[in-house]
Chains A and B, each alone.
Chain A
Amino acid sequence: MSTSESTASGIGPVEGASLYSVDNPAPVIEPPRKRTRKSPKSTRGNFEMAAWLFMRLSGVVLVVLVIGHLLIQLVLDGGVSKIGFAFVAGRWASPFWQVWDLLMLWLAMLHGANGLRTVINDYAERANTRLWLKGLLYTATVFTILLGTLVIFTFDPNIR
């Protein structure tokens, strides 16, 4: 392991002196898969990269939203014992908590759905199994997001 002996050109003592220098540079080799004007248009978008980035961005926001939610619901002011219809009505009287809960619902559902999509892709080996599991996942996700949004927007404290 005597890597320190290699010269600045990256060629070790065994290979001898470099054939090339600043005045006599090595020929440029074209990258084999470089896209040119002649190569067909890529059919793949950047969805997976966008999903990867979304997981990190939504994750940071969710840490704040969810831990705040846990503090309010389970820790402060008597913990879970105080939760009831009146408590929900009191919180959703404020637009601040409506927006908080709406944002938390959307981000958490999309974050979780994308996570489960990854898990399904990893473990369901048959194409048909993946299709059905993801169909079920997307149906449940759309249903839950729409139901939750509807509940927040149409909440009526005087329902009775």
Chain B
Amino acid sequence: MPAGTLYRGREGMWSWVAHRVTGVLIFFFLFVHVLDTALVRVSPEAYDTVVATYKTPIVALLEYGLVAAILFHALNGLRVIAVDFWLQGARYQKQMLWTVVAVWVVLMIGALYPVLGHAVRELFGS
């Protein structure tokens, strides 16, 4: 491959990539989530059995990943709206991305105990 022909963008491109990847992941989860919720029309036992898997430590880790994807997609989506509709949006897109990342990190630290606490208690005892 000739040197220097592969486009590697900066904050703008990578946030666009992350927005796509998280969006596709969330959509696939949403599809599964509607199916599992539909089990309430089958029987309480069927629903509770499937929801029990959501409470296992491994799936709790996946839930933390889901929260990470949703929070990034939501915050960066607000940034995209600001870039499109705010007159100064394009000028401040980088600063807004780092704001998004900072808020995301804070929220992810806040979600640590509520989402993963029960898994830690189950693995290491209370």
Residues of A with Cβ closer than 8 Å to B? 56, 59-60, 62-63, 66-67, 70, 74-76, 78-81, 83-86, 88, 105, 108-109, 112-113, 115-116, 119, 140, 144, 147-148, 150-151, 154-156, 159-160
Contact = CB atoms under 8 A, between A and B. Distances in A.
A108 B30 contact: yes
Nearest to A57: B81
Contact of A148 (B37, B51, B118): B37
B23 interface: yes
Interface residues of B, number: 37
B35 to A, nearest CB: 8
B44 A160 contact: yes
8 contacts: A60-B81, A66-B70, A75-B115, A80-B54, A113-B27, A116-B23, A144-B34, A159-B44
Contacts of A62: 74
B84 A56 contact: yes
B43 A160 contact: yes
A119 B20 contact: yes
B65 interface: no
Q: Main SS of chain B's interface residues?
A: helix
Nearest to B70: A66
Contacts of A83: 51, 54-55
